[in-house]
Structure 1
Amino acid sequence: MIQFALLFGLGFLTASLLVFLIAPAIHRRIVWFTEKRLKATMPLSPQEVRAQKDMARALFAAENARTEQALTQERDKTVALQIHNGKLQQEASRLAGGNSELQTRIDDLEMEAGELRSRLRREESYISQLKSGIHVAEQASAEKEADIDNLRKRMMKMSADADNLKIDLATRETEIESLKLRINTLRDERDTLHRDLNAASVRAADAERSLRQETDKNKRLDERLTREIAGSADKETAIERHVQDVVRLKERLEAAVKESREASKALRAAGIAPPKKPAKAPKLSAVSMIVNTADNQTNAAEPERTVEHDIAHMTEEVRNRAAALSDRLLKARTPAHEEAVREEIATIAANMVALTALKEGSASPILDLLPKDKVAAEQGARISLADRVAAMLPKHP
């Protein structure tokens, strides 16, 4: 509606503007035709013509003034119409915005109405489901009533069974009492067995301790036996070497005999009398030769190995003393023999120092630390380690 009003106003204004533009030309044309017609119809004098011209000029001026005034009024009206048109456009835009808001609200209301309709349909379906559920529940309640009747019957039967179970329970309680008495008896037997087991454990621990001591002793004996076997193996090796030397000497002797025989044959062939053989020495067996050779070598090596024999003897003595001391410490139950044990430990330490000095020889710094003059210790006084070592090394100052 507003658009039609705006179009009508614009058309009217356009038509008015065209009229104002065309009106002067049409007016001049009309005036020209009128003058021409008047001139054609009636002759005029120059004065009249001049008067008519003046009158026409006056009329034209008046008409022109009226036209200008009308044009001014029309222009004012056009401006007023333009202002009114702007207001109308603002009102139209406002109404269009309100219309769009109303349309949006209408759409929202339609959506809400659709949701309400769908919700109504869901509620109707839910109501139908509830009706069917109620029907099913009624059927289930009827079935449950039947089940309740059955359960009541079972409960009565179970109460009778419970009475029977109470009777059985009383019987079981009497059996439990008898079992408790038997358990107490078994506990007493268990305590007795525990005491016996503890005593057996103590005896087993003592036996294990003695077995450990015997095992250590056997280990030491095995080590000593191993050393003895190694020494005997060295001796057997020396004997084998001597046997090999004897075999080589026999081979050389046989070769020399062959050479002498060949030489005597050559002398006989040359007519020269061979020299007489010396008297035969008694023939020695290979074993006696080996024994004599070994004895000679042993006797020859004895002066050179005195220090080595001392070292070996002292090492064996220290080892035996340490083993005996360890056995004594393991068997000791009371601190009654502490002084003797300390004396034994001091002796073993002195033996170790002396053994070290013997191994290092005359260049050992231990010999410089030993006292040169032996001083008799007072009775009951403690003997120092240096005095003990000096007493053990009389031949090696």
Structure 2
Amino acid sequence: MSIAASSLSFIDGSILNVALPAIRASTGAGAAEVQWVVNAYTLPLAALILLGGALGDHHGRRLWLVIGTGLFGIASLICALSGSLEMLLAGRALQGVGAALLLPNSLALLNGVYEGEQRGQAIGTWAAAGAICAAIAPLIGGWLVEHVGWPSIFYINLPLVAAAILVALTRVEEVSEPEKARLDGLGAGLATLGLGASTYGLTLWSQKFALTPTAAITIAAGAALLAGFLLWERRLGDKAMIPLALFGNRCFSSLNLMTFLLYGAFGGSLLLIPYVLIEAGGYSPIQAGLSLLPLSILLGLASPLMGKLAVRLGPKIPLTLGPIIVGIGLLLGTRIAEDQAYWTHAFPAILTLSIGMALAVAPLTSTVLAAVERHQTGMASGFNSAVARLGGLIVVAMLGAVLVNSGEALLRPFAATLVAMAVAAGLAGAAAFFGLRGNWRRQREPITA
């Protein structure tokens, strides 16, 4: 059930990256609109995922998993039936709200069933199943884009929605911890508005790297709202969605800094690589989907093993090496050109990216969850997922200078962007190394505020 629900997010993201050129062509969207097709989903997901975890803790994780999954299904249908870019963006935003409810509760339910090494293996299997779904989805999606049209890619979500809801209602017991839950509607509202304004301003700025009055005002407003969010959370103290005192612990802070940097770099690459292969390399949507197949296969095969090994041996080595290898893969990606063979240019980059992420994904998730007490798992998984999406949100908002180009003109800004993301991935590895040094105990005692 947890796997079926959470896989919706993996599937949706991997299909959309293959379909973006077709969406842009059919709707006449500019670079900013293309960015918002991605970020209209990521913004509410990043801003509301903490509230989603808290609602599950308070009212029942199964209940809010079902509600979130149902919303995701309704939103997918809206996207599929959309006759305009505006309706598509509205559907994408509702998908983000649904994902913010289902993701933290699916992982919290899974985390509560297992202990120790079994928990690491279960989380690895959870990540692997998502990767496998993400591997299959672009192939089906690419065929649909070519032969049926891009709106049809959203229909793929509907069977998974039905299966997840059915299993949740018939096979899963309700779990809640209302005495430990933290509901903070004002904090969620401030975070959503602050992220929305900041993202809009960054999107405008990234078109020509020029700070127009509108961009400056929205960025400043976003920063003020986010500052208000932090002040409000500080005032709430231990009743906050995410107690700020937790950030006094180097391990917790460094893992989330690593998550922000790594997933920002990785999310940006997953958008750019298939986009450039289609727009500059002449790939069809199906070929672009096939090009990413090694990534999902390696993640699917290696994640259960890495989750288990990280519990047994400790997370420091995989969480340090994984991001560095991702950075090397991004540097290899700068070799992608207009006239080149997949096996000599794109494949080495994608393979190296795959190895790096396979090392890091499951150990990162299990380490974050092991760093808090059981009643905080909804909050911890929600916050770490929010940080991961926030990294991607900001990176995508800053890709306007790349997406405004087409054909060969894409290649130079694409390569420069990959170099910048490689630096971010390297810094993610450094954050994990210094944060876990002498701070991770084999017995994984919970971190408390």
TM range (shorter): under 0.3
TM-score with structure 2 setting the length? 0.21
| TM-score, with structure 1 as normaliser | 0.23
The higher radius of gyration belongs to 1
- Whose helix fraction is larger, Structure 1's or Structure 2's? 1
